[in-house]
């Protein structure tokens, strides 16, 4: 066997940066509707925000703590941060050149324009000034800077102006500078009325442009000589000492305030901001030029998301579709009758998530249902799922919810949700100290013929009705007795703190999932060494766990054929002679965010195994979270999942292939080959098209 060294592993953060580049590339594609291309640009901007808040913030924390140990790839935090800075500056420059040189001109050709201040007509100026005075001015709070008024604390990711002033204030003091925060309650963009904007165009103005134009109205008797947008990104990773916290909910509520004022990790400023002003800001935030990002356009591209909705141009968006109802639930039988007859497999968003909501509402209303248990990680601000649980509790059923308060960037929503659930008598459990509860499970216990029958739902994605329309995920409804017992035992462990008894079907982290995965890879290795065909297909969001990566290298060297569909981070390098020449890795980016975690092993008993899971092949999922992986037991359903996996392996227009050097290349159909998109194929099957 070839020795595995640091050169055979990719760096986690740099692999994630490569994913951000692939997302941005979607905004360049002429075969994607124009407003969807703009949306991909905004997504890439939002992704970079989170990258700096969490990944860069975490690396800087490690450096400050004196932790500079390298990862499996050989890079320590300092070297990783240096490389991130190079790639991040390149990506940001590309974002703005793409906006200015391609997307804005394309929008103008379609009759959608964003007018700059210097382009406003006299009529537009009158309308916007009146709008400013009536709707904006009362909300602004300028803060002058002098010895009595030091530089203010700036909220994380808030938009601000640094303003140069000239003149004396009411107290005779010479004015120098001020900071004007832009209130988050204001809209990002304003659509001008047709009579002002012109009938030929849909005309928009940035709110920041309006504030910039009329800043003088904030400083009576003083002139604002110049103003420049700036924005600070802060370390936003929450730290809660769960061993010391007597009340986890209250501890997290306290930490949410800190998130707004964590350590600074990035400064964005308008490109025309003079050097002395930039140096002043860098000094205030104790940052270096490496942390500085000058941008040629609006600071925070994500503000353009509002234009996509305000434009009201469905012809420039993806064609709407109607998700299908699986055959078993199309009949007039009750949902419980349908599940008893057979397991029901869902592939969202192609299969409607409405069935899962109906399942919960049926449980809430059914007099035979005695208890409901559910995990909640992300649910959204307004959720039919939560409404059903509340209705069940009000109907007198025993309802238990395991809610993960530490779901990143959903902590505040989940804290509020836990309070709402407790108000109606729902038993709320916050999971296990030190482990995020990431498993996606529902257990409904129903009295039937003097016996209790368990109905379960297991999924790869969150119970969030909005994201189920844009994320791909698998889900399973089942009345299988053994599976129901497994889910019951896992809930028992989460709520009672006792040890878990042996499972029949489920694999669960942090106990059996990692061992089970390595065992199944070993099965394929054994078969390959005996001269039998051996194959693994894995589809996931991320692969970053050293022992799994090493085991996959071992499998490749034994002759196992391995196909991995990894959307984001991938620690493994495929196609290296003598190491990974039997491994192929691709990332698929299309209309929907690929979120399914599903795995195929060809040499398991009964003609191979298909597993779906809430967990990626990541260290955090295997050892620091409560996760569940469930087998697809029905032969026809296994065949369906395997067929759909093959779609993703055939994709030749939305797939990126990972190269041995860590670069990704976009697949192309090539001569004499038809274009094939996995997502288009699955959408086509909704309407009966081949």
Domain ranges of the chain: 6-316, 327-502, 508-686
pLDDT at position 206: 97
Summarize pLDDT for 137-162 with one digit per residue, the tens. 999 999 988 766 789 889 999 999 99
Question: Can 327-502 and 508-686 be said to share one CATH topology?
Answer: yes
Could you name the CATH architecture of 6-316? 2-Layer Sandwich (3.30)
Summarize pLDDT for 411-460 with one digit per residue, the tens. 667 677 888 888 999 999 887 777 889 999 999 999 998 899 999 999 99
Q: What is the mean pLDDT of residues 120-135?
A: 95
pLDDT at position 169: 61
Hey, which residues are catalytic here? 438
pTM of the model: 0.92
Pick from 165, 160, 282, 164: nearest CA to 229: 160
Distance CA 4, CA 568 (A): 23
Query: Token pair 């996606």 is at which residue?
Result: 440
List Cβ neighbours of 619 (8 Å cut-off, separation of 6 or more). 544, 545, 546
pLDDT at position 147: 64
Q: What is the mean pLDDT of residues 607-623?
A: 95
Distance CA 24, CA 43 (A): 8
Please list the residues that pair with 344 across neighbouring strands: 477
Could you tell me the fold of the domain covering 327-502?
Answer: Endonuclease; Chain A (3.30.870)
Please list the residues that pair with 149 across neighbouring strands: 146
Summarize pLDDT for 88-108 with one digit per residue, the tens. 999 999 999 999 999 999 999
Q: Does domain 508-686 have CATH number 3.30.870.10?
A: yes
3-state secondary structure of 498: coil
Rounded to 10 deg, the angle between the 384-394 and 354-365 helix axes is 10
């Amino acid at each position: 066997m070839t020795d595995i060294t640091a050169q055979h592993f990719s760096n986690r953060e740099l692999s994630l940066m490569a994913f951000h580049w692939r997302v941005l590339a979607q905004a360049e594609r002429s075969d994607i509707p124009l407003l969807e291309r703009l949306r991909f640009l905004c997504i890439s901007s939002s992704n970079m925000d989170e990258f700096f808040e969490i990944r860069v913030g975490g690396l800087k924390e490690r450096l400050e703590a004196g932790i500079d140990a390298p990862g499996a790839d050989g890079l320590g935090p300092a070297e990783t941060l240096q490389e991130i800075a190079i790639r991040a500056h390149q990506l940001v420059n590309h974002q703005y050149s793409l906006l200015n040189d391609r997307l804005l001109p394309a929008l103008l050709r379609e009759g959608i324009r964003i007018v700059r201040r210097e382009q406003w007509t006299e009529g537009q100026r009158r309308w916007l000034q009146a709008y400013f005075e009536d709707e904006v001015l009362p909300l602004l709070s300028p803060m002058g800077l002098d010895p009595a008024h030091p530089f203010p604390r700036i909220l994380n990711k808030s938009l601000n102006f640094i303003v140069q002033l000239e003149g004396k204030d009411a107290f005779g003091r010479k004015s120098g500078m001020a900071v004007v925060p832009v209130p988050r309650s204001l809209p990002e963009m304003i659509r001008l009325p047709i009579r002002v904007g012109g009938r030929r165009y849909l005309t928009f103005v940035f709110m920041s442009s309006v504030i910039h134009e009329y800043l003088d109205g904030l400083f009576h008797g003083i002139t604002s000589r110049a103003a420049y947008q700036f924005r600070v990104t802060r370390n936003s990773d929450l730290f809660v000492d769960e061993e010391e916290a007597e009340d986890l909910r209250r501890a997290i509520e306290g930490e949410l305030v800190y998130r707004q004022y964590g350590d600074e990790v990035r400064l964005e400023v308008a490109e025309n901001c003079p050097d002395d002003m930039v140096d002043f800001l860098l000094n205030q935030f104790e940052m270096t030029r490496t942390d500085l990002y000058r941008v040629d356009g609006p600071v925070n591209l994500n503000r353009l998301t509002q234009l996509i909705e305000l434009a009201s141009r469905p012809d420039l968006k993806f064609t709407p579709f109607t998700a299908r109802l699986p055959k078993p639930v199309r009949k007039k039988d009750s949902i419980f009758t349908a599940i008893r007859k057979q397991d029901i497999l869902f592939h969202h968003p192609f299969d409607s998530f409405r069935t899962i909501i109906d399942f919960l509402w049926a449980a809430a209303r059914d007099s035979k249902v005695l208890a409901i248990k559910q995990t909640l990680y992300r649910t959204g601000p307004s959720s039919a799922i939560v409404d059903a649980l509340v209705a069940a509790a009000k109907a007198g059923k025993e309802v238990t919810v395991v809610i993960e308060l530490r779901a990143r960037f959903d902590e505040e929503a989940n804290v509020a949700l836990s309070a709402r659930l407790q108000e109606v008598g729902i038993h709320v459990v916050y999971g296990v100290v030190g482990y995020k509860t990431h498993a996606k499970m529902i257990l409904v216990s129903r009295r039937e013929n003097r016996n209790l029958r368990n109905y379960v739902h297991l999924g790869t994605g969150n119970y969030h009705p909005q994201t189920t329309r844009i994320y791909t995920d698998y889900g399973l409804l089942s009345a299988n007795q053994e599976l129901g017992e497994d889910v019951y035992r896992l809930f028992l462990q989460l709520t009672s703190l006792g040890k878990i008894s042996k499972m029949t079907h489920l694999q669960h982290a942090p106990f059996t999932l990692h061992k089970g995965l390595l065992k199944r890879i070993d099965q394929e290795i054994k078969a390959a060494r005996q001269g039998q065909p051996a194959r693994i297909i894995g589809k996931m969001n991320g692969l970053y766990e050293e022992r799994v990566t090493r085991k996959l290298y071992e499998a490749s060297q034994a002759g196992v054929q391995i196909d991995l569909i990894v959307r984001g981070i991938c620690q493994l390098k495929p196609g290296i002679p003598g190491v990974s020449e039997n491994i192929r890795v691709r990332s698929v980016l299309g209309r929907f965010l690929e979120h399914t975690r599903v795995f195929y092993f060809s040499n398991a008993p009964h003609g191979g195994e298909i597993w779906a899971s809430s967990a990626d092949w990541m260290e955090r999922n295997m050892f620091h979270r409560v996760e569940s992986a469930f087998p697809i037991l029905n032969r026809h359903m296994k065949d369906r999942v395997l067929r759909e996996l093959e779609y993703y392996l055939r994709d030749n227009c939305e797939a990126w292939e990972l190269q041995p050097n860590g670069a990704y290349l976009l697949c192309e159909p090539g001569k004499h080959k038809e274009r094939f998109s996995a997502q288009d194929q699955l959408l086509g099957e909704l309407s009966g098209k081949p």
